[in-house]
């Protein structure tokens, strides 16, 4: 990881843009492919000016065919390129399960380690905005379940640049769980390239009464919840795991062994979800009572389209606060 020399304020979307531009500039084998890479409507400012700078042979705006686009990216990676394939709606990456799960995830293993697939599957999550059930699903648990795939889910501008550069440099496939709700969040980001190692979580707020574990957008909401809980006398520690796979078990266990309580805040459904994995980790490697383990998830139902129903469906800091208080 680099020093903070040359640091300046950058929002999350432009931190992605800078990471992509710097890798395209420094490595001629890097390509970006996917729907809407030239359209702010699809990808916000994350791909701003990339096609003008690097040309249509390296920044490739594709037809609406997720399976073919992803298969082309995987094939290019096998052939020696470093491919980044964007899915502006995570939901439609389901069409690409074959090249992601059957091919890319297994290639290194099935080739006996003689061939790798340096590809980043960039999946953008939408939550709210009347996007409805087919445009709003958080499917990170599915990808984290598959051997051969690494899964990153940054929550800050600094982290998204460092983790994305690391993902592009990785010789094997990485799933980048992006979240459109983070695009306006700003912080100081170094101008130079740097990497954040996978499997290293971070403490966003120290506390002694309960551990809040989350990632991506809800890591930010967990910090807000912790500040609100502090006003009510509950001192919450917030762990942002940053990568789901590999998972930093140590940072979670160290915190839980200190606080004695944990709330796992997950943007997906509870049943068979990622929060269950963290709960199982706590059960297997600590002496915590089940009564001290809380899972905070969205309802086990498809996402609604109306604003009023969305307010009841999606998680935010207020709902995290209400859930955590049930343990005290």
Determine which one of 18, 52, 57, 66 is catalytic.
Answer: 66
CB 104 within 8 A of CB 148: yes
Q: For residue 20, give Cα distances in angstroms to 15, 52, 125, 210.
A: 9, 13, 19, 38
Q: What are phi and psi of 124, to 5 degrees?
A: -95, 120
Label the pairing between strands 174-179 and 59-61.
Answer: unpaired
Token output for 177: 């769980």
CB atoms within 10 A of CB 16: 27
Determine which one of 135, 140, 221, 237 is catalytic.
Answer: 135
Clarify whether 187 is annotated catalytic: no
Distance CA 223, CA 205 (A): 7
Label the pairing between strands 150-152 and 243-245.
Answer: antiparallel
Clarify whether 135 is annotated catalytic: yes
Distance CA 30, CA 2 (A): 22
Rounded to a whole number of angstroms, the CA Rg of the chain reads 19
CB 214 within 8 A of CB 222: yes
As annotated, the active-site residues are 66, 135
């Amino acid at each position: 990881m680099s020093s903070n020399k040359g640091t300046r304020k950058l929002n999350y979307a432009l931190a992605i843009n800078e990471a992509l531009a710097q890798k395209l500039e420094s490595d001629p084998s890097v390509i970006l492919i996917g729907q809407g890479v030239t359209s702010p409507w699809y990808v916000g400012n994350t791909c701003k000016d990339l096609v003008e700078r690097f040309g249509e042979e390296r920044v490739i705006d594709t037809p609406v065919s997720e399976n073919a686009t992803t298969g082309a990216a995987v094939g290019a990676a096998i052939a020696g390129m470093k491919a980044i394939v964007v899915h502006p709606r995570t939901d439609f990456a389901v069409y690409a399960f074959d090249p992601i799960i059957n091919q890319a995830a297994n290639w290194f293993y099935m080739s006996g380690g003689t061939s790798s697939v340096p590809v980043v599957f960039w999946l953008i999550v939408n939550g709210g905005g009347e996007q409805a059930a087919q445009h709003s699903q958080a499917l990170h648990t599915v990808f984290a379940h598959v051997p051969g795939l690494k899964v990153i889910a940054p929550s800050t501008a600094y982290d998204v640049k460092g983790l994305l550069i690391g993902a592009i440099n990785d010789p094997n496939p990485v799933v980048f769980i992006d979240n459109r709700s983070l695009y306006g969040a700003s912080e100081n980001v170094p101008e130079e390239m740097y990497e954040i190692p996978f499997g290293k979580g971070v403490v966003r707020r120290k506390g002694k009464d309960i551990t809040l574990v989350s990632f991506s957008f809800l890591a930010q909401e967990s910090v807000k919840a912790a500040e609100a809980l502090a006003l009510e006398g509950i001192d919450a520690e917030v762990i942002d795991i940053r990568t789901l796979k590999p998972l930093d078990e140590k940072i979670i266990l160290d915190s839980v062994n200190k606080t004695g309580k944990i709330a796992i805040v997950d943007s997906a459904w509870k049943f068979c979800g990622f929060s269950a994995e963290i709960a199982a980790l706590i059960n297997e490697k600590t002496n915590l009572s089940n009564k001290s383990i809380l899972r905070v998830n969205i309802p086990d139902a498809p996402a609604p389209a109306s604003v009023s129903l969305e307010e009841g469906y999606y998680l935010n800091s207020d709902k995290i606060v209400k859930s955590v208080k049930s343990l005290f």
